[in-house]
Amino acid sequence: MILRIVIAVCWAARFAPALEPVCTPVEGDRILGQHLAVALPEFRGIPPEALLGNTPPPGERRTFHAPELASIAQRYSIQVDAPKDVCFEWPMESLDHDRILTAMRGSLQAPDARIEIAETSVFPVPRGRLEFPRETLGKPALPAQKDPVLWRGEVVYGGDHRYPVWAKVWVKAPCERFVAAEAVKPGLPIEARQVRIERAECFPEMPGAGEAPLSLVGLVSARPIAAGAEIRPALLASPNDVNRGDAVHVEVRGGAVRLAFTAKAETGGRSGDFVAVRNPSSNKIFRARVEGKDSVLVRTEFAKPGGSEDEAQETAGTERAGQVSPGSPPAAGPAGAAFAGLVVVSGFAPDGCRQRCPRRPY
């Protein structure tokens, strides 16, 4: 039995890798003469600033073998006898949890935040300044954050070099959240009695990403919210300026022509949105931009200067009509049905109409 153990130990020793030599640490981009003098005292006579090579990336080694060292000694007239191989590397160290937490708290700028590290990178890192920028902190899929999120960091070393690191964390900070005191229906403005504020622990929001409103009153939700559920301000929006079925004031602008009339909104939207509007006189639907509460605007295109007389007549929707005066209805023509019942706010001359006239928007 003892013989077997001895044989096994000898066999393992036969194939065990040799211990790697300890390398001289170098914190800089260049390996200089002063570094070689530290590693091999017989090179004390070499100029301290003599450039011998580049420092390898973190985790790698730069080895000077005996022939290369002999050449360096000959170059600087240094007497050495059979120099040994020597290696250089960036000084490396392991990541410490306390150091990671300190860097994270400095980025969050939230002294009351609670951070728990679930996992972190295990490989050694170069000596330097550890940073976990706030903008590289991932965001949980759900506000409750059941799973840890990835936070990418870096070690700043050797001046401006950066070595990537990472950690998976849970982050909680004291906050106030809105809770539905009663069911909230979609599309209807929220009333004060439907909302209450509770103290809780939440995932910290990115600074400048949009502060939570002081009140949710008047905002609308796109989906129903059950009583007791959290109301997330990011999922709310301002109410529409125009709703489907509303009577809206329509203004049509095209060249010197201004038309004003009342129509019915077929879709809803806020200022700047485009909605479908139906002309009650012609029953035709056209597209208009919301300008304000129950107000929409239509801007028409223009016929190109120098176009044919037929194109001008088709564009204008008139056939050699005379001067159109404010307060009068447009003359009959191809667009008569679309313009029926409208009032001209300002007019135009027929000669000008042949060169620059509004196209029919509907």
Are 361 and 292 found together in one domain? yes
Is the pLDDT reported for residue 288 higher than 90? Answer: yes
173, 199, 226: which is the final residue of a domain? 173
pLDDT value at residue 301: 57
Task: Please check whether residue 229 lies inside any domain of the structure.
Answer: yes
* Cα 45 from Cα 73, distance rounded (Å): 9
Residue 221 maps to which CATH number?
Answer: 3.90.1210
pLDDT for 234-286, tens place per residue? Answer: 788 888 888 889 999 999 887 777 888 899 999 988 889 999 999 888 889 99
Are 221 and 261 found together in one domain? no
Task: Please check whether residue 5 lies inside any domain of the structure.
Answer: no
Number of domains comprising the chain: 4
Task: Please check whether residue 342 lies inside any domain of the structure.
Answer: yes
Are 348 and 256 found together in one domain? yes
The residue that leads in pLDDT, 215 or 81, is 81
Residue 270 maps to which CATH number?
Answer: 2.30.30.760
Q: How confident is the model at residue 78 (pLDDT cuts 50, 70, 90)?
A: very high
Are 49 and 159 found together in one domain? no
Q: How confident is the model at residue 143 (pLDDT cuts 50, 70, 90)?
A: low
49, 71, 89: which is the final residue of a domain? 89
Task: Please check whether residue 77 lies inside any domain of the structure.
Answer: yes
Q: How confident is the model at residue 2 (pLDDT cuts 50, 70, 90)?
A: low
Identify the H or E element spanning 221: strand 220-221
* Cα 41 from Cα 24, distance rounded (Å): 12
> How many CB atoms lie under 10 A from the CB of residue 58?
20
Domain membership of residue 222 as a residue range:
178-237
Is the pLDDT reported for residue 357 higher than 80? Answer: no
Which residue from 112, 117, 104 is spatially nearest to 173, judged by alpha carbons?
112
